[in-house]
Amino acid sequence: MSRRTLLAGLGAGLGMSLVGLAGPAARAFAATLKDARWCNPALGYFPSGGHYGAPRGSYPHAGQDITNPVGTAVYAAAAGTVVRRGTDVLTGRTGYGLVIAHGNGQYTYYGHLNVFRVALNATVAAGQRIADMGATGNVTGPHLHFETHSGGLGSTVDPVAFMAARGVDLGGGWSRIDPGANGETVKVIQYLMKQHGYALETDGYYGPVSSDAVKRFQASRGLVADGQVGPATWPKLVYTLRQGSSGSHVRALQVALNKRSAGLVVDGAFGSVTYTAVRNFQSVNRLLVDGEAGPVTWEALVG
Ligand SMILES: [Zn+2]
Number of independent structural domains in the chain: 2
Residue 248 lies in a domain: yes
pLDDT value of residue 33? 65
Residues 82 and 196 reside in one and the same domain: no
Q: What's the CA-to-centroid distance between 295 and ligand 1, angstroms?
A: 30
Look at the alpha carbons of 217, 220, 222, 225 in this order and tell me if their dihedral is positive or negative: positive
Q: What's the CA-to-centroid distance between 133 and ligand 1, angstroms?
A: 12
For 249, phi then psi, to 5°, come to -65, -30
Residue 217 lies in a domain: yes
Residue 158 lies in a domain: yes
Residues 191 and 280 reside in one and the same domain: yes
CATH number of the domain to which 68 belongs: 2.70.70.10
Residue 156 lies in a domain: yes
pLDDT: which is higher, 80 or 7: 80
Residue 173 lies in a domain: no
As a whole number of angstroms, the distance between CA 276 and CA 272 comes to: 6
As a whole number of angstroms, the distance between CA 61 and CA 50 comes to: 8
Q: What's the CA-to-centroid distance between 114 and ligand 1, angstroms?
A: 15
Give pLDDT tens digits for 40-63. 999 999 999 999 999 988 889 999
Residues 100 and 237 reside in one and the same domain: no
Q: What's the CA-to-centroid distance between 83 and ligand 1, angstroms?
A: 20
As a whole number of angstroms, the distance between CA 124 and CA 85 comes to: 13
As a whole number of angstroms, the distance between CA 42 and CA 69 comes to: 11
Q: What's the CA-to-centroid distance between 64 and ligand 1, angstroms?
A: 6
List residues, by chain if needed, whose CB lies under 5 Å from ion ligand 1.
63, 65, 145
Residues 280 and 245 reside in one and the same domain: yes
CB 274 within 8 A of CB 250: yes
Instruction: Give the domain extent around 284.
Output: 184-302
Residues 195 and 128 reside in one and the same domain: no
The mean per-residue pLDDT over the stretch 123-138 comes to 97
Q: What's the CA-to-centroid distance between 43 and ligand 1, angstroms?
A: 15
pLDDT value of residue 32? 53
Residues 196 and 160 reside in one and the same domain: no
Q: What's the CA-to-centroid distance between 50 and ligand 1, angstroms?
A: 6
Residue 239 lies in a domain: yes
Residues 159 and 188 reside in one and the same domain: no
